[in-house]
């Protein structure tokens, strides 16, 4: 099966008004809003990247990956027991099948969803540096203060009770490749965290599309969803904007050592973590896997420790 990219995440939330207000401030754009459903997109061209259904409690419902062809859906059914092909009723149409990961997360594979016109990105940030004064004249920042321009759903972090029991599904069924794995100190075979990328052969892909994190409490939950922002300046500006609106910061702005991406994590009104990222490492299938002792991993290259609320 050839997975092309992460496509969207699905949540259930109690108050669509509150969720929509936060998500718009964060940078998502509303595509459809009814009493029962909220569907939002980034500016990158995917018909949608986030959907929420109204329900009694806050719940992560699952995530979807886009595949190359209808035959990928058929092989997911014949080889991995996916549900029958169904038509999607979300914007852009298309078809889908559903797989269940070992923790009960619904993993949809989608195909044929029509894209929309992408928004224009900001002008690339040119920066002067000693010995490399490449930007001439005056710098007029033209970017408005406000929600980030987002370009795609990049990755999803999952809290799982057992890394060992979860990784084989993502490797063998979805064909993902671990980029970096963390093990408990002194026990290289006891692995608890893994960042997995797509297998696109020689094509460059993000360092990870899925982060699997073994929870200390045995919890099964979405840890965070992450959308690509243009660059760190866009992230810093949106950080200030979300701060001005009194949303709850989780952690950021910082830079992860594995994946190298700059991150900024906030909570929505139901305490789901929403992240912006930029400047991620891009890797090929042949770039391999590295295994690290978690005690020796600094989670922020800019030296802030993750606060407890990052894991709770
Ligand atoms: Fe992330």
In tens, the pLDDT along 260-282 reads: 999 999 999 999 999 999 999 99
Q: How far is the CA of 241 from the centre of ligand 1 (A)?
A: 20
In tens, the pLDDT along 150-166 reads: 999 999 999 999 999 99
In tens, the pLDDT along 17-73 reads: 999 999 999 999 999 999 999 999 999 999 999 999 999 999 999 999 999 999 999
Torsion of CA 282, 262, 38, 61, to 10 degrees: 70
Q: How far is the CA of 275 from the centre of ligand 1 (A)?
A: 6
Given a cut of 90, is residue 312 above it in pLDDT? Answer: no
Residues in the chain: 312
Q: How far is the CA of 301 from the centre of ligand 1 (A)?
A: 14
Give the CATH fold of the 3-114+150-310 domain: 2,3-Dihydroxybiphenyl 1,2-Dioxygenase; domain 1 (3.10.180)
Q: How far is the CA of 309 from the centre of ligand 1 (A)?
A: 15
Q: How far is the CA of 196 from the centre of ligand 1 (A)?
A: 12
Q: How far is the CA of 311 from the centre of ligand 1 (A)?
A: 12
Q: How far is the CA of 277 from the centre of ligand 1 (A)?
A: 7
pLDDT at 219: 92
Neighbouring residues of 271: CB distance < 8 A, sequence distance ≥ 6: 58, 248
Q: How far is the CA of 57 from the centre of ligand 1 (A)?
A: 24
In tens, the pLDDT along 282-307 reads: 999 999 999 999 999 988 888 888 88
Which of 95-99, 177-181, 303-307 is the least confident region? 303-307
**Buried-exposed string 112-140: b where 16+ CB fall within 10 A, e elsewhere:** bbeebeeeeeeeeeeeeeeeeeeeeeeee
Q: How far is the CA of 232 from the centre of ligand 1 (A)?
A: 15
The string of DSSP codes covering 196-239 is EE---TTS-EES-SEEEEE-TT---EEEEEEEEES-HHHHHHHH
Token pair belonging to 178:
């671990």
Q: How far is the CA of 155 from the centre of ligand 1 (A)?
A: 6
């Amino acid at each position: 099966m050839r997975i092309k990219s992460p496509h969207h995440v699905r949540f259930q939330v109690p108050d669509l008004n509150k969720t929509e207000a936060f998500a718009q401030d964060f940078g998502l754009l509303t595509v459809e809003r009814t009493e029962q459903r909220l569907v939002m997109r980034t500016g990158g061209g995917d018909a949608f990247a986030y959907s929420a259904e109204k329900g009694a409690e806050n719940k992560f419902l699952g995530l979807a990956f886009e595949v190359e062809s209808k035959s990928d859906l058929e092989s997911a059914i014949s080889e991995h027991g996916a549900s029958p092909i169904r038509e999607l009723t979300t914007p852009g149409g298309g078809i889908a099948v559903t797989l269940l990961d070992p923790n009960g997360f619904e993993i949809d594979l989608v195909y044929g969803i029509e894209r929309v016109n992408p928004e224009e990105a900001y002008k690339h940030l040119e920066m002067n540096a000693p010995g490399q004064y490449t930007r001439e004249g005056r710098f007029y920042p033209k970017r408005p203060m406000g929600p980030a321009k987002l370009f795609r759903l990049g990755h999803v972090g999952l809290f799982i009770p057992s890394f060992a029991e979860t990784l084989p599904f993502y490797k063998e069924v979805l064909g993902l490749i671990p980029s970096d794995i963390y093990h408990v100190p002194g026990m290289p075979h006891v692995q608890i965290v893994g960042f997995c990328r797509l297998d696109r052969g020689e094509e460059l892909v993000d360092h990870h599309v899925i982060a699997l994190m073994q929870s200390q409490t045995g919890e099964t939950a979405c840890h965070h969803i992450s959308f690509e922002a243009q660059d760190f300046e866009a992230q810093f500006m949106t950080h200030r904007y979300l701060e001005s609106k009194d949303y709850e910061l989780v952690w950021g702005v910082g830079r992860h050592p594995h994946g190298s991406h700059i991150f900024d994590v906030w909570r929505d009104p139901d305490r789901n973590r929403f992240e912006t990222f930029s400047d991620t490492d891009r890797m090929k299938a042949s770039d391999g896997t590295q295994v690290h002792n978690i005690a020796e991993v600094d989670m922020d290259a800019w030296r802030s420790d993750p606060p407890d609320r990052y894991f709770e």
